[in-house]
Structure 1
Amino acid sequence: MSDSPVKEKSVPQAALVPSPSPSRASSLPEKKSRGRRIREIIWDSLDGPPEERKLLFKIDIFILTWAGFTYFSKNLNSNNVSNAYVSGMKEDLNVVGNEYQTFTTMWTIGYVISQIPSQMICTRIRPSLWCPSWELLWVIVTFCTAAVKTPHQLYACRFLVGLAEGTFYPAVHTVLGAWYTKRELAKRASIFFASAFVGSMFSGYLQAALYKGMNGTAGLAGWRWLFIFDGVITLPMALWGYYALPDLPTNTRVKWLKPEEKTLALKRMADAGKGKDVPFTWTGIKRILFKWHFWVYTAYYTFFICSENIGTYMNLWLKSLKKYSVSEINTYPTPINAITIVTSLAYGWTADALQLRSPIVYFSLIVCFFAAMNLAIWDGVPFGLKWASYYLTGFAPGSGPIFLTMVNEICADDTLERKFILGTTNSVAYSFNAWIPLVTYNTTKAPRFLVGNSVTVALIVCATLTLTLALFLQRRDA
């Protein structure tokens, strides 16, 4: 535009509307058809270029099959301890007092202490070697669990299983985050998370089948066959990991990706703005600890994780009624996991489609608060409402990935802070979860658990208040 003065003159009104330049027109958002928008909501790669669709299909098949089936077997094993307890293990091992809670506590201790060191080691050892090797240890210890004779031997097995399992969850999220963009990651994370509860749901039916069909076979009780079956189905998954895990796009050497596909994967990550990892330094950690994000987000997630125990005691309630068979005690609680699977996927797809985060988390907390209040009151609560309340606890776990997505987005401008919070929050939460159930849910108080259910109500209230504080501080900073 010229700096010289011009004489005013009458200009037609239409001429006052500037015509968009090519650069400006290209910056306008593309208007998508309804059909294309629906396809993107259902699955994000349906409208992508052919070469990108092929790449996504491959990494979906290899990464998600390994991660999903392995997580399935891990939660199958965790729930099998509870199912084995009510299927003869209590009597065979002479479990007394609060020893049942100690089984869970020993697993949690091993799970907590291995996560952060494992993440540090994974920066120097390929995940495709590190993770499957721990899976093999997990398989060996699971086989040993079938042969335990005393509660103390089971303590050792549960600790080692937790130690091996702690290396898995953060490593999977590291691999997922390295290969998928922001538009793709949430759905895959939801599928990965939901696969765990498929294992939890399947556990009750598996124990019921083994109790009927294998109890006494080869001189072994049905609950022992349960752990043998765990090891058998997990062994091929561990071996599959050596081939399926692609490490990271920067150092992958898998044979199932062509050279041009590896190049495309690198380009996708560059286009998504994912650069080199920022190393941990004392200066960086000090900076993080002086910001509110770490403290408030960690506090919320700790309250949230510790409030999830309430639904796991439904089988003890059913056993106390003395009117259900072993098979029914094992299978009737499984809809809790089915509800978690459905709500987890629904939360993930809704969060992406509507760009909602905190409302979904609030919804899950309200439902779980209602359920916990009924179980805390107990006396006078109708039998059917108690039953429904246990099932409603399945609405809570699926909001965990939604909260972590919110943390990921808020801390996106500080790579070190984001990785530090996502890497330590889970460890801190489970370090509290290692002892809080031991103190509050004393199995000698079954089935009412007045202290445990009341503490759960308080934890949900604290989680709600902490989430509200986080949202307030986010808006203040914005």
Structure 2
Amino acid sequence: MTEKQERPSAEHVDHIRGEKGDDGSTWDATTLQIEKRLVRKLDMTLMPMVWILYLFNYLDRNNIAQAKLSSFESDLGLTGSQYNTAISILNVGYLLMQLPSNMIITRVRPSIYMPVWVCIWSCISAATAGTHNYGGLIAVRLCLGVSEAPFFPGAFYLLSCWYTKKELALRTAVLYSGLVLATAFSGLLAAAIFSGLEGARGLAGWRWLFIIEGAASFFAGTVAFFVLPDFPGRETGSTKWLFDEDERRIAIERIQRDQVSNQETDRSVLFGLKSALKDPRVFVFAFMLCANHTAYGFNNFYPAIVEGFKLGSTAITLLCTAPPYLVGAIISFTVAWSSDRQNERGYHISGSMSVAIVGFVISVSSLNVPARYFASFLYISGCFAANSMVFSWAASAVSQTPEKRACATAIINLVSQFGNIWSPYFFRAQDEPRYTLAMILMMAFAAASIGTCALMKWTLKRDNRKLLAIHEGTNVQPTLHTL
């Protein structure tokens, strides 16, 4: 092991650059035990906390889909495409805040920055219960998008500072499962609230839905102040009491060794932004995730899709929305585990989107209710499994500096929001309940995602050949891009 690896800088991991020792040495058994202990502690603290916060992040933005089955539209006087606009406007706020926030997070303490935003969005979400017209709803949804924007790219950036590439796909799938389970259990929760609190204290059931879920996420945000760690190497947040000196040193060193052998030396945020904007791969990943999000556009309309199956009452409809998402979570874990084990991303993403396409084809071509319900298992599982791996693939491919990684992942997530902005308009009122046009369009975008996977694998294979050529004839084994 090199001297640099034995005595890393005291700065946090994002301020370290390096690679494996020139002699090809590996860690001894004691160091490996420390690393296992470190990862176990992260899995017991960091992962559960960001998972819970992401669950509420998505619960608070997605509860409008359940509210639609209550008196939400009639109480607010929504007509035409106003409901669709209320869904889309949240993503406009998301676009405005994501990139600035991820530039800021590289210079602040995540253990304070992220929980503050959680508490803010919780209050805004609960305020939806106080709206009485379309204008008020639009204002609240726009502010909700701005306040929720910092969380996901910030949480992923924090995970990428602690976990290596081979660990990240499964952890990202776990994080995404918060979205899956939020969508699944939101229907169960809404069914319970609508049946038990409809009209209580003169409030409609959908108003209680926003109040209760907003209060719960605020509580989770206050807990996060005490549980979230800051960056490796910093003795602040839970990092101070959770990890000992050896674990903090190994946390820095293992991320240092995991970096692709193409690191830059300029550590300014402005350089990271410029570098990200000049990298074509950033925009290939951005289009890939945008296509995935567009194919996932069914999410805000899935209760309405299931309602079209005419399975029974509103409560039964909401209960039937849960199983496909639960199955989707299990499949997402399995695919991500396989991706980490095989150190491969492209085929796993494109394979998952192929399954989604099969689901969309069945939905378009069949009138049989059991077949269409089964198809929803396919497109929900396929889209979730694919989405959970795009970020982990992108983070390793565009991380020449930590600042570039933060800016690039924010840009990728920012551009992908266009898929969430235009996809609600695929679901026209005249197409209920089958939404044939929407299914065809989502099928097309799923196919586009597969095409970008092929392009990215070709690009990264070319880059790997260049890295091998640069190190040819030396004793250094370069760290290559994950394909």
Normalising by structure 1, we get a TM-score of 0.82
For structure 2, the 5+ residue unaligned runs are 1-22, 260-264, 466-483
Matches of 1:257 and 1:52 in 2, distance apart?
Answer: 17
Q: Distance in 1 between matches of 2:459 and 2:106?
A: 33
- Residue 113 in structure 1 maps to residue 96 in structure 2: yes
| 8 A contact 2:166–2:341 mirrored in 1 | no
Counterpart CA distance in 2 for 1:163 and 1:444 is 32
Alignment partner of 1:91 out of 60, 74, 99:
74
Q: Distance in 2 between matches of 1:248 and 1:161?
A: 27
Q: Is the 8 A contact 1:76 1:199 kept in 2?
A: yes
Tell me the secondary structure at the aligned position of residue 125 of structure 1.
coil
In structure 2, the CA distance between the partners of 1:438 and 1:271, relative to structure 1 (3 Å rule), is closer
Structure 1 residue 152: Cα displacement:
1.9
Give yes or no for contact 1:298–1:421 (8 Å, CA) kept in 2: no
Q: Structure 1 residue 357 and structure 2 residue 338: aligned?
A: no
Question: Could you tell me how far apart the structure 1 residues matched to 2:308 and 2:163 are?
Answer: 47
| Bigger-Rg structure (1/2) | 1
d(CA) in 2 for partners of 1:186, 1:439:
31
Q: CA deviation at 1:251?
A: 2.6
Partner AA of 2:432 in structure 1: A
Deviation, structure 1 residue 256:
6.6
Inter-partner Cα distance in structure 1 for 2:388 and 2:69: 31
* C-alpha distance 402-331 of structure 1, shift in aligned 2 (>3 A): same
Deviation at 1:245? 1.8
Aligned residue for 2:318? 330
Return structure 1 stretches of 4+ with deviation > 6 angstroms.
26-30, 274-277
- 1:206 and 2:189 equivalent? yes
Shift of 1:409: 3.7
- Contact 1:101-1:437 within 8 A present in 2 as well: no
Alignment-derived partner of residue 475 in structure 2: none
State the Cα distance separating 1:445 from its structure 2 match.
3.0
> Are 1:408 and 2:395 matched, yes or no?
yes
Amino acid at match of 2:423: P
The one-letter code matched in structure 2 to 1:433 is N
Aligned amino acid, residue 301 of structure 1: L
CA pair 229-61 structure 1, distance change in 2 beyond 3 A? same
Aligned in 2, Cα 1:348/1:52: closer, same or farther, shift over 3 Å?
Answer: same
Whether the 8 Å contact between 1:86 and 1:319 is mirrored in structure 2 is no
1:25-79 deviations in Å (ceiling 9; x for gaps): x96999x9xxxxxxxxxxxx9x952x54544443333322321111111222233
Matching residue within 438, 460, 463 for 1:474: 460
Q: Does 1:306 align with 2:320?
A: no
Q: Mapping of 1:44-443 within 5 angstroms?
A: 48-49=32-33, 51-254=34-237, 257-258=240-241, 261-273=244-256, 278-281=267-270, 289=277, 291-320=279-308, 324-377=312-365, 380-395=366-381, 396-411=383-398, 418-434=405-421, 436-443=422-429
Query: Contact 1:98/1:444 (CA < 8 Å) preserved in 2?
Result: no
Letter in 1 for 2:101: S
Runs of 5+ consecutive residues of structure 1 not aligned to the other structure:
1-25, 33-44
Quickly say closer, same or farther: Cα 1:302–1:183, change in 2 above 3 A: closer
Compared CA separation, residues 256 and 476, structure 1 to 2 (3 A)? closer
Give SS of 1:278's match.
coil
Q: Single out whichever of 79-88 and 172-181 deviates more from structure 2.
A: 172-181
Are the equivalent residues in 1 in contact too, given 2:86–2:138 (CA < 8 A)?
yes
**Distance of aligned partners of 1:204 and 1:255 in 2 relative to their CA distance in 1, 3 Å threshold:** closer
Shifted more, 368-377 versus 112-121: the winner is: 368-377
Q: Contact between 2:362 and 2:375, CA under 8 Å: does it hold in 1? A: yes
Query: Alpha-carbon deviation of 1:358?
Result: 1.7
Any idea what the Cα deviations from partners look like across 1:150-187, whole Å, max 9, x if unmatched? 12212111112211111101111122122223343333
* Deviation larger for 258-267 or 117-126: 258-267
> Which piece of structure 1 moves more, 460-469 or 411-420?
411-420
Question: CA separation of 1:261/1:124 partners in 2, compared to 1, >3 Å: closer, same or farther?
Answer: same
CA-based RMSD of the aligned residues comes to 2.9
| 8 Å Cα contact 1:190/1:344 also seen in 2 | yes
Confirm or deny: 8 A CA contact 2:329 2:384 kept in the other structure: no
Aligned partner of residue 114 in structure 2, secondary structure: helix
TM-fit CA distance, 1:97: 0.9
CA, structure 1 residues 244+287, in 2 after alignment: closer, same or farther (shift >3 Å)?
Answer: closer
* Residue 323 (structure 1) shift: 5.7
Return the alpha-carbon distance in structure 2 between the equivalents of residues 260 and 304 of structure 1.
Answer: 37
Quote the sequence identity (%): 22
What is the rounded CA distance, in whole Å, between the counterparts of 1:280 and 1:387 in structure 2?
47
Question: In the alignment, residue 413 of structure 2 is paired with which amino acid?
Answer: N
Cα distance in 2 for partners of 1:277, 1:199 equals 40
The 10-residue stretch of structure 1 (190-199 or 441-450) with the greater mean CA deviation from structure 2: 441-450
- 1:83 Cα offset (Å): 0.7
Distance 1:144 1:268, change over 3 A: closer
Say which structure, 1 or 2, has more relative contact order (CA 8 Å, 6+ apart): 2
Task: Indicate conservation of the 8 Å contact 1:141/1:161, yes or no.
Answer: yes
d(CA) in 1 for partners of 2:321, 2:231? 39
Aligned partners of 1:291 and 1:69: how far apart in 2?
33
Deviation, structure 1 residue 207: 0.7
Query: Counterparts of 2:273 and 2:150 in 1: how far apart (Å)?
Result: 22
1:415, distance to aligned residue in structure 2 (A): 5.7
- Structure 1 segment 439-458 matched on structure 2, within 5 A: 439-458=425-444
